A and B are shown apart, each in its own frame.
Chain A
Amino acid sequence: MRIGVFICHCGSNIAGTVDCAAVAAKAATYPDVAYATDIMYACAEPGQDAIIAAIKEHQLSGVVVASCTPRMHEPTFRKTVERAGLNRYMFEMANIREHVSWIGKDIEANTNKAAELVRMAAAKLRLNKELKPKSFPVTKRLLVVGGGVAGIQAALDAADAGLEVILVEKQPTIGGKMAKLDKTFPTVDCSSCILGPRMVDVAQHPNITLYAYSEVESVSGYVGNFDVKIRKKASYVDWVKCTGCGLCTEKCPARKSYDRFNEGVGPTTAIIIPFPQAIPKKASIEREHCRLLTGGKCGVCAKVCPTGAINYAMEDEIIEARVGGIVAATGYDLIDWKIYEEYGGGRYPDVVTSLQYERMLSASGPTGGHIKRPSDGVEPKDVVFIQCVGSRDPSIGRPYCSGFCCMYTAKQAILTKDHIPDSQSYVFYMDIRSPGKGYDEFTRRVQEEYKARYIRGRVSLVYPKGNKLIVRGADTLMGVQVEVEADLVVLAVGAEAASESAKLAEKLRISYDSYGFFMEGHPKLKPVETNTAGVFLAGACQGLKDIPSSVAQGSAAAAKAIGLLSRDMLDSDPQIAFVSANRCVGCGKCIEVCPFKAIQEIDLRGQPKAEVIETVCQGCGLCNATCPQGAIQLSHFTDNQILAEVEALCRF
């Protein structure tokens, strides 16, 4: 074999702390190395051209590039060697940037380590075999998990492009958090007026199948062919028969149920249609509030339903579907603000959350769009907004900025003035964070035109005195303590990943960060991909963002999914397991450990043997490590290749 070695400087990224020329000189002495050189930027066009030229000039049959992590440029260089006529797997990469130059300053030690890593890569390459991918058909259907604005956008874009789309939503209606908002910033246009038509589009689109009140139960399979089980939760109402007339919700006697959609601002009934524009506009019964389902006595809704849709015996249903790609768009939840005892910890009725305030502002909300104090129904005059409740607070493990609270607080202060012209708003803030088109102008407008008083400082205590709430805080610009007598206090509660996002991530086999937000493939260059092929991200589940960004990411995720599913066939990764039949004793251990169900037992001349299903195997290597006979090997990472690397490292 004739091996070529290229040591990349990566500008000064590597060359700053590694003597690249010395590494190349050492590499030239390694077995089978026919050519070694150092190169300024291996990944740039001149660098790639130099590699191709060297392959031709020196009749190289394999290439080692020592540069950055293979996560970054392995695909790049594989294409490069392919262009020079080599098989793409006759290539190895040594990571001398993340593993060497970026983590140490000792040039001599770094140079030695880099040379060792290159020696390992060359030793492995000597045992590499040419591998060819197999192709398999793609299921041209997309699963979107989460029916908020990001999921709606992704579903509509993909459906418009001709894909079949399955949209799964946990709640009885799509619309997500945006459906709860009264107005949106910075245009102060009506949230449900702009979202409503999109929701209707979802319902009417011939390519979209909507499963509301449903959750993803399990996911198996792989890119191009995921097998998904969807749990359709029992709504106790036959949605084929239900016309959404709402008679049941008028007559239901359980009138003190918690109203999830309205954030508990007012009570609701046990059988509900969450809001007038709900999609699907179907009734569902909340089991824990229903008198019949909990106490065995009632049945009023069944009596009044004109179509006989009520079915108290309904059970959860599992729906199975095969999809080619998945978009996760599960959004966010508010943090538990009741841990803040200094704001009352939930003890004072007139301390409300920002989302509750949205429902009070909304004309379709429980107060009919009139701002009223929950305690006595009186219209408040002095309204205090406290920002960063649960954002930027390391003491509760939430050191991040939620991103949208500064803007919605400004919007709510404007709306307060619109609703109650003789009101005065006070906003306690840490910093005003308003980057975005028209955003900073908006936060100025609320102060200059709407005369909201912005006080830079934290609130230390909210307590009731008479029928007022005393808000005590610091004005750090003036260097004084301030006390405001408020009629209503609105907490700009920060957000966190949706409550069950970690569970979903595990089902989808994608990573999530320590806060539960799903990890994108690359923070800059792969913002909607994940490290699991075929799974994409949209909206706040990937990181908190406002409506425009969520919509943009929904479209981006759809574009990626459309790109993937526009292909009829996909190439499978040939770095998969293979069985040496004469070594296999048919013990079946590999079948037990395989997480992808990619190994099956076959009968070979009366003997049980393991066989790898090539298109299902993901090349994780578990079977390889488990096999007591060494009969099952992972292509491109065989035991012999690993041992060759170890030997190269432990020569002395």
Chain B
Amino acid sequence: MSKITLGYFPGCSGLGTSAEYEKSTRAVCRELGIDLREIPDWNCCGSTPAHTVDPVLSSAFSARVFAQGEQVGITDVITPCPSCLSNLRNALRHMDDELFAARVDALTERPLKQEHSIKSVLQVIVEDIGLDSVKARVRKPLTGLKAVAYYGCLMNRPEKVMRFDDPENPVAMDQVLEVLGAEVLPFPLKVDCCGGSMSIPARRSTPHLAGKILDLAGEMGADVVVVACPLCQMNLDLRQGQSRAAGLKYTLPVPYFTQLMAYAFGLSDADTAFKLLAEDIAPAFTCMSRRSDEIKAEEARKAVLAEEKARAAAEKAAKTQAGTETAAEKQPGGKSRANSASAAGGAA
């Protein structure tokens, strides 16, 4: 198995609210041959609240992260968190401007000497590792699981900065879930606002906005809403009770895509870390196995039918063949050739 080594930036939520994302990401990367080298003594990416107050300060946080990586020879970094991704990527972009970079350097006192790149874990899995490699590692396919993928606002946007997938209708997570065996429903609210940015200034609107997403997912018959962003996950999962109080009719587990990957790869409970989700995922798996049994039964029934049909066709072909041969004996010529040709066609 070919290995790739990449710098890893867990981000603050990975140590707290999204520990399950962190655990499952590390496990999945291990399985896929991605050697994660955590940046030593990393700090806040600068996304909250610095970037709303001072863009230079915010970028300086990011710049220090890259500088820490540079020290140990890391220049290509990945992160599971879209918010970190956005801020780290934007910092690099802003620092293309020499004046801006000089102001950042004045704060960090450690100017970057090398070119750096930052990507999401999802992008690396889909583009660098490839769906075939993911598929090859599936041991417990998610057959029968109805899933919708929810990307949030940051993963693919702004388009010119992220340059990954479609900004209005992203499909990367859908594709991953499909190769895991799940039935992925075409979810129209993939990039709708989860209410994350409203959770402090207008707290009441958050459960309402998150509720809309969950409501449509429930209406479409999804068992799970699969996410890739810690903040989205928190709003959809942790606040689901608030959303229900605001009128949501469904209860839906909201796992990270890496957790489902770990599950499908047959990894341990410590790696899937499902127990850290607020809404229990067990009912979804119950639905999955019930549906999986139904699918298996249906397939078996079809196989039997197909076999019977094939046998019947073969018998019929044999009979016609015999009939034609007797006819051909009686009446040799062009007509009999036409008959046997059509019989052969029927048998095929």
Interface residues of A (CB under 8 A from B): 340-342, 344-345, 347, 461, 463-466
Residues of chain B in range 183-217 having any CB-CB distance to chain A below 8 Å: 186, 188-189, 192, 216
- Contact across chains for B192 and A466 when beta carbons are under 8 A apart: no
- Contact across chains for A461 and B169 when beta carbons are under 8 A apart: no
Instruction: Show 13 residue pairs from A and B whose CB-CB distance is below 8 angstroms, ordered by the A residue.
Output: A341-B166, A341-B168, A341-B169, A342-B168, A342-B169, A344-B188, A347-B186, A461-B188, A461-B189, A463-B188, A464-B188, A465-B219, A466-B219
- Contact across chains for A465 and B216 when beta carbons are under 8 A apart: yes
| Known A341-B167, A464-B188; further 8 A-B contacts with Cβ < 8 A | A340-B168, A341-B169, A344-B188, A461-B188, A461-B189, A463-B216, A465-B216, A466-B219
Please indicate the chain B residues that have their CB under 8 angstroms from the CB of A466 in the complex: 219
Please indicate the chain B residues that have their CB under 8 angstroms from the CB of A345 in the complex: 168-169
User: What residue of chain A has the Cβ atom nearest to residue B167's Cβ?
Assistant: A341
* C-alpha gap A245/B149 in the complex (Å): 54
- Which 5 residue pairs of A and B lie closest in terms of their CB atoms, listed nearest first? A463-B188, A341-B168, A341-B169, A342-B168, A341-B166
Please indicate the chain B residues that have their CB under 8 angstroms from the CB of A464 in the complex: 188
Please indicate the chain B residues that have their CB under 8 angstroms from the CB of A463 in the complex: 188-189, 216
* C-alpha gap A208/B111 in the complex (Å): 76
Please indicate the chain B residues that have their CB under 8 angstroms from the CB of A461 in the complex: 188-189, 192
User: What residue of chain B has the Cβ atom nearest to residue A463's Cβ?
Assistant: B188
Kindly provide the distance from the CB of A445 to the nearest chain B CB, expressed in whole angstroms: 35
* C-alpha gap A473/B186 in the complex (Å): 21
Kindly provide the distance from the CB of A468 to the nearest chain B CB, expressed in whole angstroms: 12
* C-alpha gap A464/B188 in the complex (Å): 7
- Interface size, chain B (Cβ < 8 Å): 10
Please indicate the chain A residues that have their CB under 8 angstroms from the CB of B169 in the complex: 341-342, 345
Kindly provide the distance from the CB of B219 to the nearest chain A CB, expressed in whole angstroms: 7
Please indicate the chain A residues that have their CB under 8 angstroms from the CB of B168 in the complex: 340-342, 345
* C-alpha gap A345/B168 in the complex (Å): 10
Interface centre among B166, B168, B188, B192 (most CB of A within 10 A): B188
Please indicate the chain A residues that have their CB under 8 angstroms from the CB of B167 in the complex: 341
* C-alpha gap A341/B219 in the complex (Å): 22
User: What residue of chain A has the Cβ atom nearest to residue B187's Cβ?
Assistant: A463
Q: How many A-B residue pairs have CB under 8 A?
A: 21
* C-alpha gap A465/B216 in the complex (Å): 7
Residues of chain B in range 163-191 having any CB-CB distance to chain A below 8 Å: 166-169, 186, 188-189
A interface footprint on B151-168 (CB within 8 Å = 1, 0 otherwise): 000000000000000111
* C-alpha gap A466/B168 in the complex (Å): 21
* C-alpha gap A622/B127 in the complex (Å): 50
Please indicate the chain A residues that have their CB under 8 angstroms from the CB of B188 in the complex: 344, 461, 463-464
Kindly provide the distance from the CB of B313 to the nearest chain A CB, expressed in whole angstroms: 22
Residues of chain B in range 295-321 having any CB-CB distance to chain A below 8 Å: none
Kindly provide the distance from the CB of B106 to the nearest chain A CB, expressed in whole angstroms: 35
User: What residue of chain A has the Cβ atom nearest to residue B192's Cβ?
Assistant: A461
* C-alpha gap A645/B167 in the complex (Å): 57
Please indicate the chain A residues that have their CB under 8 angstroms from the CB of B216 in the complex: 463, 465
Kindly provide the distance from the CB of B153 to the nearest chain A CB, expressed in whole angstroms: 12
Please indicate the chain B residues that have their CB under 8 angstroms from the CB of A465 in the complex: 216, 219
User: What residue of chain A has the Cβ atom nearest to residue B188's Cβ?
Assistant: A463
Please indicate the chain B residues that have their CB under 8 angstroms from the CB of A341 in the complex: 166-169
Interface centre among A340, A347, A465 (most CB of B within 10 A): A465
Please indicate the chain A residues that have their CB under 8 angstroms from the CB of B219 in the complex: 465-466
User: What residue of chain B has the Cβ atom nearest to residue A347's Cβ?
Assistant: B186
* C-alpha gap A344/B169 in the complex (Å): 9
Please indicate the chain B residues that have their CB under 8 angstroms from the CB of A347 in the complex: 186
* C-alpha gap A463/B188 in the complex (Å): 6
* C-alpha gap A342/B167 in the complex (Å): 9
Residues of chain B in range 112-168 having any CB-CB distance to chain A below 8 Å: 166-168
Please indicate the chain B residues that have their CB under 8 angstroms from the CB of A344 in the complex: 188
Kindly provide the distance from the CB of B159 to the nearest chain A CB, expressed in whole angstroms: 8
Kindly provide the distance from the CB of A339 to the nearest chain B CB, expressed in whole angstroms: 9
Kindly provide the distance from the CB of B218 to the nearest chain A CB, expressed in whole angstroms: 12
* C-alpha gap A464/B186 in the complex (Å): 10
* C-alpha gap A347/B186 in the complex (Å): 10
Kindly provide the distance from the CB of A231 to the nearest chain B CB, expressed in whole angstroms: 39
Kindly provide the distance from the CB of B309 to the nearest chain A CB, expressed in whole angstroms: 25
* C-alpha gap A241/B238 in the complex (Å): 76
User: What residue of chain B has the Cβ atom nearest to residue A462's Cβ?
Assistant: B188
* C-alpha gap A342/B188 in the complex (Å): 9
Residues of chain B in range 83-122 having any CB-CB distance to chain A below 8 Å: none
Kindly provide the distance from the CB of B213 to the nearest chain A CB, expressed in whole angstroms: 11
* C-alpha gap A344/B166 in the complex (Å): 13
* C-alpha gap A347/B188 in the complex (Å): 10
User: What residue of chain B has the Cβ atom nearest to residue A340's Cβ?
Assistant: B168
User: What residue of chain A has the Cβ atom nearest to residue B186's Cβ?
Assistant: A347
* C-alpha gap A260/B189 in the complex (Å): 33
Please indicate the chain B residues that have their CB under 8 angstroms from the CB of A340 in the complex: 168
Please indicate the chain A residues that have their CB under 8 angstroms from the CB of B166 in the complex: 341
Kindly provide the distance from the CB of B223 to the nearest chain A CB, expressed in whole angstroms: 19
* C-alpha gap A245/B35 in the complex (Å): 73
User: What residue of chain A has the Cβ atom nearest to residue B169's Cβ?
Assistant: A341
Kindly provide the distance from the CB of B281 to the nearest chain A CB, expressed in whole angstroms: 26
User: What residue of chain B has the Cβ atom nearest to residue A344's Cβ?
Assistant: B188
* C-alpha gap A347/B189 in the complex (Å): 14
* C-alpha gap A324/B186 in the complex (Å): 58
* C-alpha gap A340/B216 in the complex (Å): 21
Please indicate the chain A residues that have their CB under 8 angstroms from the CB of B189 in the complex: 461, 463
* C-alpha gap A78/B203 in the complex (Å): 78
Kindly provide the distance from the CB of A482 to the nearest chain B CB, expressed in whole angstroms: 15
* C-alpha gap A280/B233 in the complex (Å): 63
* C-alpha gap A345/B171 in the complex (Å): 13
User: What residue of chain A has the Cβ atom nearest to residue B160's Cβ?
Assistant: A395
Kindly provide the distance from the CB of A343 to the nearest chain B CB, expressed in whole angstroms: 9
Kindly provide the distance from the CB of A202 to the nearest chain B CB, expressed in whole angstroms: 44
* C-alpha gap A347/B169 in the complex (Å): 11
Kindly provide the distance from the CB of A393 to the nearest chain B CB, expressed in whole angstroms: 13
User: What residue of chain B has the Cβ atom nearest to residue A466's Cβ?
Assistant: B219
Interface centre among A341, A345, A347, A466 (most CB of B within 10 A): A341
Please indicate the chain B residues that have their CB under 8 angstroms from the CB of A342 in the complex: 168-169
Kindly provide the distance from the CB of B346 to the nearest chain A CB, expressed in whole angstroms: 16
* C-alpha gap A340/B219 in the complex (Å): 25
User: What residue of chain A has the Cβ atom nearest to residue B216's Cβ?
Assistant: A465
Interface centre among B166, B168, B169, B219 (most CB of A within 10 A): B168
User: What residue of chain A has the Cβ atom nearest to residue B215's Cβ?
Assistant: A465
* C-alpha gap A463/B192 in the complex (Å): 11
Kindly provide the distance from the CB of B233 to the nearest chain A CB, expressed in whole angstroms: 22
User: What residue of chain B has the Cβ atom nearest to residue A465's Cβ?
Assistant: B216
* C-alpha gap A465/B192 in the complex (Å): 15
Please indicate the chain A residues that have their CB under 8 angstroms from the CB of B192 in the complex: 461
Please indicate the chain A residues that have their CB under 8 angstroms from the CB of B186 in the complex: 347
Kindly provide the distance from the CB of A616 to the nearest chain B CB, expressed in whole angstroms: 51
Kindly provide the distance from the CB of A639 to the nearest chain B CB, expressed in whole angstroms: 49
* C-alpha gap A465/B189 in the complex (Å): 11
Kindly provide the distance from the CB of A95 to the nearest chain B CB, expressed in whole angstroms: 40
* C-alpha gap A461/B186 in the complex (Å): 15
* C-alpha gap A464/B216 in the complex (Å): 9
* C-alpha gap A341/B165 in the complex (Å): 12
